[in-house]
Structure 1
């Protein structure tokens, strides 16, 4: 059967419509603010909500900061700094100091965008030098996987991706299984960098700015919202509205999507209102993929609140004429703003800049901290360690506790309601001599899961009444599973159905640039996984809901003996649906993932973010679900973290370690 995607924009429209409701509610709240008391209450409220999204930060440990070298330049110097934001987690930084300092000077924390060379990239060196020559102390540090902080140096692995953003997602996605948000790790590096900057005797701690571009604009916005020591901010090429990003089908890295942000009714403007009326400059570009129309809308919202607070002049916006990047005109707008609010006399024009090589700015001898410091830990090693700790602490839940926890984490509310379904025009497959019957099951407003059945002599225009059925949840599509012979064979008296749940097969999203690879690390499946995370309504939970509602539909048609089959990606929502539904007599999983633990402990993995749950390893793992289905479950040809077939002997050992009954596992 040939693949078709007639519902290719369904998921996109679903999330756009959900977010419009959230943002309309937020707009009404902002409009209702009429006086200072209202504004101050709103500021306090969003500050509290933002903190919840980022979670609890670790206790501060000694920075163990060291200076490994100094470059003396004309009008300024550059100190090469290394410190530990967490024990064994090293951060490289450059401190730019004006020459001839008398007394204390204002300071700026610089945040890098997504540049491979980190702090050595041209625009970041430029604004550091420019600010130093205007009398500011500037500390700029390498974010994770950038500059001297590459994380995948010691290991060779076939699934370590190419490209900075893809590596960020590889590091960030699986740590969510352990309840960790990659954005919080990056923010913590910045907070500890700020600790170091403010410890310097040259720095006036009452005049502290922060700026950065793109991913650095993200960090500026996040850290500015979370750390009150920042007294003025100038994020560049990041601030728009989340609705513009979602409407424009713009994925962002794992670190740019705080879990629950939409659940709490937040938008980007709230990152600045959290400490209103602190001086804020929003920098944008005319031809940026971060939509400047959203920047203008955010600015208008912020300015109104600042006006009510009596500080209308402390928020500004500047849109440069260029494409994405911290180009000259935006840097000069930032200089002017910081000079004004730091009370420093000077001109906004950028002086002549002489750039250093990456090698000259390197803190480490080799150019990489993981090479120089043998006790240094890559981030995936720390994620694995956290997962191991959680496994030791985790208790086996009762079936009742497990069902309640699974339902809550998936954000699935159990119901016996029978969904409406549409009859879609059947297709006759000449080569197969089969009618492919199709029904669109409306599992919730805006979502249709496509239910297939197969008949030889004539099409069926309604769901036949029956008793015994198999409901198959395919890996990537019903059509590909059918073509590969993976859909369970028909047996006399049994009706076989297959269901394209949201995001696969006929509902596979045709957005985000139409990627050909479903598993592309920065495209549609990841994008909608992030949308679900921001809503705190997991994309995986929606897939489970599609199955549960279809099971209700089949039950209403008289099917009281239902076997649920799931393959590959389909096995994950299938096993959760089997646990939660009372309509499943037997469950067969083919090519199933055996545990979330193995993903969290892996250097790299293929299973996508869309099939993960935030903090799941704090509560349970897949083997707990398998145990709860004992006597009604079989797993055939399980896959490992790379989606490869397990070998029998290693699988037996692995199952023993996980507490999975070996009798459940079989190989074809």
Structure 2
């Protein structure tokens, strides 16, 4: 864009902090100065609150007219409100009367076309998944901190040691290691197998309330059991969007971090998959040679991708996993959040392709969920 003319319009009393606009302007001005066009960038801060008020509109008129030279007008003329019927896009104002189609119908049709055309060759799926998720590389196990021990939570075992793994600075995954005895230090070396659970919303809550976890611990009491909150979930859930109850709101932290991931071309679910892969790398340093990867709901999606990509995973159990992305694309209404989606995924693969590949790792699917969040 630089050195093309740009004006930043901000508001002094906006709930979007004006200091952000000032900081952005300062950085842009330095860049434009290096390009010999410092006069091509400007900041205007209007005196009122959020909105495109007359002060900011007139600042835009003046900037546009100065840059283009089409007019010397600096104030807004008296506005004429058009008659409603003059603005109709259809004879009676309703396009539904023209036998029109909804946006959802186009999306569903495209999903069907992609499904019919999509072919995933054997051995190509892992690369497609890695490319779609834009996964970074790692050459060492993550560093970690030992947190305070957990007791009295009514977990399937009486004690738990919590670890904060620095999967990708500053992102942290919180991992609980269950034990029959109190353990206050690093994980003891263990060359046996391990079970790792990736939570839906909270490992802490689900260790207390999810029957599947109690079932797994009782079935294999000698197997070391870990439960994990990837970034943005459970103990690593940020409260950056207006309080502790904002997580599932329309503009809560889960949505905003997912939106940022789309804008930066790093899907949020890919970042969470990377967390799971880093946890698995950490378990290698402990000595574990095989892992039974278990997940539920939202956690089942990054767990699916991680299981596909990690040779350490030998068994997979998924409860309430999304049946397919095609189901969401074909549904007029769905409950799965943006943080679970991979942009453009249906051009490359779908979740059933991953599930089919994981049959080689003893995949167990329990009550898969459809687009509406209900068992199919």
TM-score (norm 1): 0.51
2:136 equivalent to 1:410: no
TM-aligned CA deviation for residue 377 of structure 1:
2.7
- Residue 489 of structure 1 aligns to a residue whose secondary structure is helix
- Structure 2 match to 1:427: 150
Q: Out of 168, 189, 193, which is 1:468 matched to?
A: 193
1:520-549 deviation per Cα after TM superposition (whole angstroms, max 9, x unaligned): 232211111122222222221221122122
TM-aligned CA deviation for residue 313 of structure 1:
5.6
What is the alpha-carbon distance in structure 2 between the residues aligned to residue 619 and residue 412 of structure 1? Answer: 16
Cα distance change of structure 1 residues 317 and 498 upon mapping to structure 2, 3 Å threshold = closer
Structure 1 gaps of 5+ residues are: 1-269, 647-668
1:45-66 deviation per Cα after TM superposition (whole angstroms, max 9, x unaligned): xxxxxxxxxxxxxxxxxxxxxx
- Structure 2 match to 1:344: 71
- Structure 1 match to 2:9: 283
- Residue 359 of structure 2 aligns to a residue whose secondary structure is coil
Q: Out of 480, 489, 493, which is 2:217 matched to?
A: 489
Alignment of 1:386-465 (within 5 A): 386-399=110-123, 401-413=124-136, 415=138, 417-429=140-152, 434-465=158-189
Q: CA RMSD in A?
A: 2.8
2:371 equivalent to 1:644: no
Alignment of 1:108-187 (within 5 A): none
Q: Out of 311, 327, 334, which is 2:53 matched to?
A: 327
Alignment of 1:224-623 (within 5 A): 270=1, 273=2, 276=4, 280-299=6-25, 316-340=42-66, 341-344=68-71, 348-356=74-82, 358=84, 361-369=87-95, 371-374=96-99, 376-399=100-123, 401-413=124-136, 415=138, 417-429=140-152, 434-466=158-190, 467-485=192-210, 486-487=212-213, 488-490=216-218, 491-514=220-243, 516=245, 518-623=247-352
1:18-50 deviation per Cα after TM superposition (whole angstroms, max 9, x unaligned): xxxxxxxxxxxxxxxxxxxxxxxxxxxxxxxxx
Cα distance change of structure 1 residues 576 and 361 upon mapping to structure 2, 3 Å threshold = same
Q: Out of 339, 357, 363, which is 1:633 matched to?
A: 363
Cα distance change of structure 1 residues 563 and 321 upon mapping to structure 2, 3 Å threshold = same
Cα distance change of structure 1 residues 606 and 339 upon mapping to structure 2, 3 Å threshold = same
TM-aligned CA deviation for residue 618 of structure 1:
1.0
Cα distance change of structure 1 residues 321 and 582 upon mapping to structure 2, 3 Å threshold = same
Cα distance change of structure 1 residues 355 and 515 upon mapping to structure 2, 3 Å threshold = farther
What is the alpha-carbon distance in structure 2 between the residues aligned to residue 352 and residue 368 of structure 1? Answer: 30
What is the alpha-carbon distance in structure 2 between the residues aligned to residue 285 and residue 422 of structure 1? Answer: 42
Cα distance change of structure 1 residues 397 and 460 upon mapping to structure 2, 3 Å threshold = farther
TM-aligned CA deviation for residue 441 of structure 1:
2.0
**Which of 411-420 and 577-586 deviates more?**
411-420
TM-aligned CA deviation for residue 574 of structure 1:
0.8
What is the alpha-carbon distance in structure 2 between the residues aligned to residue 358 and residue 349 of structure 1? Answer: 26
TM-aligned CA deviation for residue 644 of structure 1:
0.9
Alignment of 1:13-92 (within 5 A): none
Residues 160, 182 of structure 2: 8 Å contact kept: no
What is the alpha-carbon distance in structure 2 between the residues aligned to residue 593 and residue 482 of structure 1? Answer: 21
TM-aligned CA deviation for residue 425 of structure 1:
1.1
- Residue 121 of structure 2 aligns to a residue whose secondary structure is coil
**Which of 587-596 and 458-467 deviates more?**
458-467
Cα distance change of structure 1 residues 308 and 478 upon mapping to structure 2, 3 Å threshold = closer
Residues 276, 306 of structure 2: 8 Å contact kept: yes
What is the alpha-carbon distance in structure 1 between the residues aligned to residue 35 and residue 291 of structure 2? Answer: 62
TM-aligned CA deviation for residue 458 of structure 1:
2.8
Residues 515, 524 of structure 1: 8 Å contact kept: no
Cα distance change of structure 1 residues 430 and 402 upon mapping to structure 2, 3 Å threshold = closer
What is the alpha-carbon distance in structure 2 between the residues aligned to residue 304 and residue 440 of structure 1? Answer: 39
- Residue 317 of structure 2 aligns to a residue whose secondary structure is strand
Structure 2 gaps of 5+ residues are: none
Residues 255, 339 of structure 2: 8 Å contact kept: yes
What is the alpha-carbon distance in structure 1 between the residues aligned to residue 33 and residue 295 of structure 2? Answer: 57
Residues 287, 324 of structure 1: 8 Å contact kept: yes
1:422-472 deviation per Cα after TM superposition (whole angstroms, max 9, x unaligned): 221102207668222211222233232111122334335331333122111
Residues 318, 364 of structure 2: 8 Å contact kept: yes
- Residue 514 of structure 1 aligns to a residue whose secondary structure is coil
TM-aligned CA deviation for residue 509 of structure 1:
1.1
What is the alpha-carbon distance in structure 2 between the residues aligned to residue 311 and residue 561 of structure 1? Answer: 59
Cα distance change of structure 1 residues 460 and 310 upon mapping to structure 2, 3 Å threshold = closer
1:152-208 deviation per Cα after TM superposition (whole angstroms, max 9, x unaligned): xxxxxxxxxxxxxxxxxxxxxxxxxxxxxxxxxxxxxxxxxxxxxxxxxxxxxxxxx
Cα distance change of structure 1 residues 322 and 435 upon mapping to structure 2, 3 Å threshold = same
What is the alpha-carbon distance in structure 1 between the residues aligned to residue 166 and residue 298 of structure 2? Answer: 21
TM-score (norm 2): 0.87
TM-aligned CA deviation for residue 330 of structure 1:
2.4
What is the alpha-carbon distance in structure 1 between the residues aligned to residue 250 and residue 201 of structure 2? Answer: 16
